Chain A
Amino acid sequence: MSFVTGWFASYLVPDWSGPWAGDSGTSWADGSFVIDSVRDLEKAGVDLLMLEDISYLADIVGGTFEAELRVNARAPKGDPLPLIGRLAAQTSTIGLIATASSTFYPADLLARTFSTLQGLSGGRAGWNVVTSTGDRAAQNFGMDVLPDHATRYAHAAEVLAETHAAWGEDRPVICQAGASAGGIALAGRYADVVVASPDGVDAMRSYRDSIRAAAVDAGRDPDDVHVLYMVTPLIGETEELAAEYAQRWYAPTDAALWRRIVQLSGDIDYSAFDMDAPLPDDVETQGSRSILANLRRVAGDRPMREVLTTQRAQSVRLIGTAKSVADQMEQVVAEVGGDGFLIAGGGGGVLTRRYVHEITDGLMPELRRRGLAGLGSGSDLRSRLQSHREVGVPA
């Protein structure tokens, strides 16, 4: 058995001002940055790409667009669906998953768009089902406020039932990322891929167990669901260089703080809190509940600055040479039970082609040599995912 490797991508401006930014400040808009990355990832044997999305430009922090457009963690950002249409034309084996909101997009439109993408990609398309967060997103779609959590998930279940009735056998892969009880139940029922970032091996194992139990409850084979954990491997030529890289990457700078504030501020303006005090007790949201709950759990009594600059949406920190990171990944998968990783290279305003190549030309060849990853096969994405359950690890 080998594990699944996926790439967490955005149709979003990458690092445009750093020393290795190249022309990314302009060339991302026509999709070039993602297209180039995906072609490299495909060659390296990565199984799938997941394009995240949100449906608004946030002006929660300080009541303006300033922070959002300075940090570039989430904006500007294009619609991932047409980009998938283009990627399908320029790749041949990698799975192509795009995010679309079950809360805001008409079900009939979703069914037709994704079945078209199935045809264009030869069965490699996937839909990352999100129920969306943020009143601002709802207001773009003519609502005053975001429907509450339970309503959104009930609606998502209806939309999934309707799209599945329209699709039949040749249906796109379904990806899901909710960690709430509603999200887990939905994933158990429909998901082929689940994306999550529980913190540490124990939490990863228990999360995976809960997803598998939900699949069994829904009458499915739990092996049909592949749980992918968010990670950001930092690869250096030597352990020392990797450690230095990690020190820079995780440095508690103001830029890191603001980045995290912007990412978290869907409904709540996190910049309004005292950064030298703990998260107040009375904060609540109808948006991403699991994100808030997770933050509260991780934060404890520590000051917000410390928590926000160090906390990342990832399950384990992977730092080292390609060899030692491959060792760590192998060990984590063995302890958790499966099923793979979704690699995120920092996202908007941070990701560089240089990082992409550290993964495609450093880590992936090492994983392939060991038969751990990068050897998936199959005529469509679902069978490719399944092929990892059949590949033997070389002795």
Chain B
Amino acid sequence: MSKFHLGWFTNFSNPPWNHQWAGTEGRDWPSGDAHVEFTRALERACFDYIMLEDSSMVSDIFEGSSRVDLKYGLYSPKHDPLMLAPKLAAATSKIGIIATASTSFYPPWLLARRFASLDHIAHGRIGWNAVTSSEDRAAQNHGLDGLPPHDERYDRADEFVDLVKNLWDSWEPDAHVLDRENRVYVDHEKVHVLDHRGKYHASRGPLNLMRPPQGHPVICQAGGSPRGRAFAAKNADTLLTAGGEPADMKAYRDDVRARMAEAGRNPDGCKIMYITTPVMADTEDEAQAKAARLRASSAAKLETSLAHISAVTEIDFAALDLDTEFSELSTNGHTTTLANFTKLGSTPREAAIAWANANFRYVGTPDSVAEQMGEVMAEVGGDGFLITGNIGRRFVGEITEGLVPALQRRELVRSEYRHDTFRENLLEF
């Protein structure tokens, strides 16, 4: 098996602030300095990318109030990742930086130009996590009554992504001629009007900026539903999904790869990354004890877990009896997330605790966790892990100074960046 990839899943939000290793980041994080330090650590460990998820709402679904959302800092506060990305780019030189922006709320021309500008600023290291957004609350912040139905959001997103790519392509690669003799900076015959008038979007184009250094910034996606997978198969260069049983991971990957082949793409052109939070300590016993502590049920865990699932599904789980078996639930939001959630337990309480613990799968010393991850990747076939968890120095250090060197010693992950652009590094193996 070839090497596998590493990414980190986070956002521009408050790092966990009320535990014993939190430092002062609960107050200082809006400066972005903590994220800079963190991203530099990831680059030192040769991560392919840092991925900044996003949402644009204060959630008040759970209990019909924003109490739990704000008490724990779940969905809010959360700052604009597109403005953090250039700061991270300025402080690094190799790592890819993925920022999230919604196809339901951004004007396509603005988004295409913003990511083109970011890619120039970052010398070809920018990625776009294309989300369709999943909450009516977010839509209402943008002046809409609610979101379009799930599958229609993807139809709109398909057209949106095509339009954005066409805007990036509106300047041919060799348009920028810098002809001093004739004093021609850009050859105007290589810059084209699109005049796109589609079912959902319209934009004349072209952009007023050169083609991005990568041509197209890396496109990231997270769809798990059949419609989401079809969208990913067509558009995604990297795809993130919940980790779980290796057989499920493999089935998901095989399905996406088959869809890609069907769509005429090389399946190796999309790197599928499984979300996980390794639990590590100096000895196996300590790691198991730590995992037991992390998995323990608590009122806060129950409350945050239920508020999370409420926010993304817009179902108020506070209104359900926590110890009564699930009835049929449906959502226009994260359909796959809801399906996975209800599989984790027969009652809301069971499922909520299990869901909160779902990422604690690999437990041990750095060496044994490296071995476990290598075994799972060998079974699944690829393509890598997306680490998530507290971006405080202590946990980040466990990954970058403990786990990654152990993975590198096994030649399971990269030990150096061979290329300058994100896309080239991502597609290297």
Residues of A whose CB lies within 8 Å of any CB of B are 11, 13, 16-17, 25-26, 29-31, 54-57, 59, 64-66, 68-70, 72, 74-79, 81-86, 88-90, 104-109, 112-113, 115-120, 122, 136, 139-142, 349
Contacts and interface: CB of A to CB of B under 8 A. Distances in A.
Contacts of A76: 185-186, 208-210
A119 B28 CA distance: 9
B105 interface: yes
Interface of B: 12, 30-32, 36, 56, 79-80, 82-87, 89-91, 105-107, 109-110, 113-114, 116-118, 120-123, 141-143, 178, 180, 183-188, 191, 193, 201-210
B118 A82 contact: yes
A83 B107 contact: no
A32 to B, nearest CB: 10
Nearest to A170: B30
B185 A119 contact: no
B208 A120 contact: no
Given A119-B31, A120-B30, A139-B204, A89 B56 contact: no
Top 9 nearest A-B pairs by Cβ distance? A119-B30, A139-B204, A142-B202, A86-B86, A85-B86, A116-B80, A57-B208, A78-B117, A79-B117
Contact of A88 (B56, B87, B117, B183): B87
Contacts of A118: 30
B10 to A, nearest CB: 15
A77 B191 contact: no
Nearest to B193: A59
A164 to B, nearest CB: 16
B287 to A, nearest CB: 36
A261 to B, nearest CB: 16
- Among B82, B106, B205, chain A packs the most CB atoms within 10 A around the CB of B82
Nearest to A105: B110
A283 B89 CA distance: 47
A108 B191 contact: no
Contacts of A74: 208
A11 B117 contact: yes
Given A82-B114, A82-B117, A89 B86 contact: yes
Contact of B83 (A66, A77, A81, A139): A81
Contacts of B30: 116, 118-120
Nearest to A255: B183
A77 B83 CA distance: 18
B90 A90 contact: yes
Given A85-B84, A136-B204, A140-B205, A109 B191 contact: no
Nearest to B204: A139
Contacts of A72: 185
Nearest to A64: B188
A33 B178 CA distance: 17
18 contacts: A16-B178, A25-B185, A70-B184, A76-B209, A77-B208, A79-B110, A79-B209, A82-B117, A82-B121, A85-B87, A105-B110, A109-B106, A109-B142, A112-B56, A116-B79, A136-B204, A139-B203, A142-B203
A153 B56 CA distance: 26
Contact of B188 (A26, A66, A113, A116): A66
Contact of B105 (A17, A68, A77, A109): A109
Contacts of A56: 208
A106 B109 contact: no
B107 A105 contact: yes
A57 B188 CA distance: 11
A16 to B, nearest CB: 6
Contacts of A54: 208
A74 B186 CA distance: 13
B423 to A, nearest CB: 17
Contacts of B121: 30-31, 78, 82-83, 86
A140 B166 CA distance: 13
Contact of A140 (B56, B109, B114): B109
A122 B83 CA distance: 14
Contacts of A108: 56, 105, 141-143
Contacts of B203: 139-142
- Among B86, B184, B201, chain A packs the most CB atoms within 10 A around the CB of B86
